[in-house]
Structure 1
């Protein structure tokens, strides 16, 4: 599989599920940390955290690595920032910032 001339590894079900479980565990720990200090986390922030951690884990299984050059960094940060902007844009459009 190729993206912008970069050879990427084929995504697997195991990689997607593993990345999702990893991201879910980290977001659960963050939520527990908020509760320990008698606070709460906004759902949009939790979803943004989940997306960022999921993309970080899944991009590694796809073969997107910083050491491989500028294209890898551009794809990683482009998808990360695009996803975060999409999540916050939908949240503001629905009136739930």
Structure 2
């Protein structure tokens, strides 16, 4: 009898834990807006990667022909793009962990 009582308690605890986990999973799901935000972030990240690639290629190919002002402008733009990329990656990771 003692053994059966212990088994019943174990089953109850397991059921409770699994229900608790299901509730946690449900509450961690992304909302429609968050899913939409992830897609927009991914799209923007792709665009930024393309822009960074274009600017890096421009620097490589035209380095000797660029004026110092043009070079500075390109490097400033690269820096802004990298900062924006970091912001987007942080937000994307935050949403991904929530999912």
TM-score (norm 2): 0.34
Structure with greater Cα Rg = 2
Return the structure number with greater relative CO, CA threshold 8 A, min gap 6: 2
Q: Which has the higher helix share?
A: 2
User: Higher strand share goes to which structure?
Assistant: 1
